[in-house]
Amino acid sequence: MNQSETLFQEAVTVMPGGVNSPVRAFGSVGTTPRFIKSAKGACLYDEDGNQYMDYIGSWGPMILGHANEAVIDSVTEACRRGLSFGAATAIEVEMAKLVCQLIPSIEMVRMVNSGTEAVMSAIRLARGYTGRNKIIKFTGCYHGHSDSLLVKAGSGVMTSGVPDSLGVPAGCTQDTLSADYNNLDTVTEHFKRCGEEIAAVIVEPVAANMGVVPPKPGFLEGLKDICREYGSLLIFDEVITGFRLGIDGAQGYFGVTPDLTTFGKIIGGGMPVGAYGGKREIMELVSPVGGVYQAGTLSGNPVAMAAGITQLTILKEHPEYYTELNQRADQFYRSMQEIFEKAGHSWQVNHVGSLGCLYFTEQEVTDYESAKTSDTEAFARYCNYMMEHGVYLAPSQFEAMFLSLAHTEELLNDTLKIMEQYVR
């Protein structure tokens, strides 16, 4: 038995499923996790000394690659000054200024500790601001694990095949309405029925928790229009797209401005961070200025801020990095599609910038229903083959592939060769 297997045997006795987050248990591909010891650039190293080309990048934040020297140096320096004060600091002002500068729709921001927390708080704020209770979310979009959003969710909820979570009282989800991604009619129906009661529409501008589903032209714009018509807020959950598709996130990429935006791990450069922000008029309702309560001892933590600021500053100072990353990604995903087509498979490769996903279906994937047509057993076989050949993929059909600046053309070509071998 290797180290990972031994560790997993121990882990399952003391942690539910042997993990601290469900998808990483590898259950949906019928294997067990590799226990990761370290990472550098585009690679992960497990406890058995195996090296993997990593296509998860900690689920998004590692845009510069793992253990970037500048990020590590700034974190190390911050640690020496103290780990947490639970008090106001200069570095959190610096972070807030940076975010407001980078994202034009954000005039004020509140740092929190995860995407889940950011979204949960943004929903509360939208309800407080509008004085309404209902929210619309899209089937297959995942917005973290807070009660009111665990309705027809993506990510691990979709992977496990459980539509909704146990332990969520019906009262918590009675105001959550579901609509179909890329289908404005299903949104309009809700608004026609109870538009005056809808506080907000929350959407992943690129759905990246049911694989990767790009928004159809006009979809995001349509959401904005209908929200404006009914006085509801449009919330972009940019936990996965923020600072990844470009320095101004999906809203810059698609040119659609939301009222509120939520961020997650990416804003912390790999440290546990989240944030929500938007128009001043709305944000000034957050406590202690306004009556929407939200708090956290570790919010704006100085070590986490140091990591985030360093990565964001590097990206801000090098706009060419995004051009490079997105071009390399376009080429990579196109080559993937070609490899499968040449081998006679009409599998779908969806991608937006560096986010991508391979679906084992002949159907175009535009929403939850079409994503579900993917053959998950075929995905499991493919995923296990890739892992055995040193390519670390998200162990679920319904997660994204993430490329980083450390994924050189050479490394990407090596990965493509392994895909070629697989289809052969």
Binding site for ligand HOZ (CB under 6 A): 21, 23-24, 59, 155, 209, 399
CB-closest chain residue to ligand HOZ: 21
Question: In this structure, are residues 79 and 303 in contact, taking their beta carbons and an 8 Å threshold?
Answer: yes
Q: Which is nearer to ligand HOZ, 209 or 348 (CB)?
A: 209
User: What's the Cα-to-Cα distance from 411 to each of 198, 331, 390, rounded to whole Å?
Assistant: 47, 13, 11
Q: Which is nearer to ligand HOZ, 155 or 301 (CB)?
A: 155
Identify the active-site residue in 46, 54, 175, 237. 237
Collapsed DSSP state (helix, strand, coil) of residue 414: helix
Q: Give the shortest CB-210-to-ligand HOZ separation in angstroms.
A: 10
The Cα 275–Cα 122 span in angstroms is 9
Q: Give the shortest CB-209-to-ligand HOZ separation in angstroms.
A: 5
Q: Which residues have a Cβ under 8 Å from the Cβ of 320 and sit 6 or more positions away?
A: none
Q: Give the shortest CB-399-to-ligand HOZ separation in angstroms.
A: 5
Q: Give the shortest CB-113-to-ligand HOZ separation in angstroms.
A: 14
Q: Which is nearer to ligand HOZ, 59 or 333 (CB)?
A: 59
Strands (E) located in 241-382:
260-263, 274-278, 348-352, 355-359
Question: In this structure, are residues 258 and 234 in contact, taking their beta carbons and an 8 Å threshold?
Answer: yes
**Paired tokens of 327:** 């071009």
Identify the active-site residue in 52, 55, 129, 142. 142
Minimal CA–CA distance to 108: which of 311, 288, 293, 275?
275
The Cα 348–Cα 304 span in angstroms is 37
Q: Give the shortest CB-396-to-ligand HOZ separation in angstroms.
A: 8
Q: Which is nearer to ligand HOZ, 367 or 399 (CB)?
A: 399
Q: Which is nearer to ligand HOZ, 59 or 254 (CB)?
A: 59
Q: Which is nearer to ligand HOZ, 232 or 262 (CB)?
A: 262
Minimal CA–CA distance to 208: which of 42, 352, 370?
352
Q: Which residues have a Cβ under 8 Å from the Cβ of 168 and sit 6 or more positions away?
A: 147, 150
Q: Give the shortest CB-346-to-ligand HOZ separation in angstroms.
A: 27
Minimal CA–CA distance to 123: which of 337, 304, 294?
294
Q: Give the shortest CB-114-to-ligand HOZ separation in angstroms.
A: 10
Annotated catalytic residue 265: yes
Angle (CA) 403-406-412 rounded to 5° is: 60
The Cα 242–Cα 240 span in angstroms is 6
Identify the active-site residue in 134, 152, 265, 372. 265
Q: Which is nearer to ligand HOZ, 24 or 127 (CB)?
A: 24
Strands (E) located in 126-283:
134-138, 176-179, 198-203, 233-237, 260-263, 274-278
Task: Kindly list the catalytic residues.
Answer: 142, 237, 265
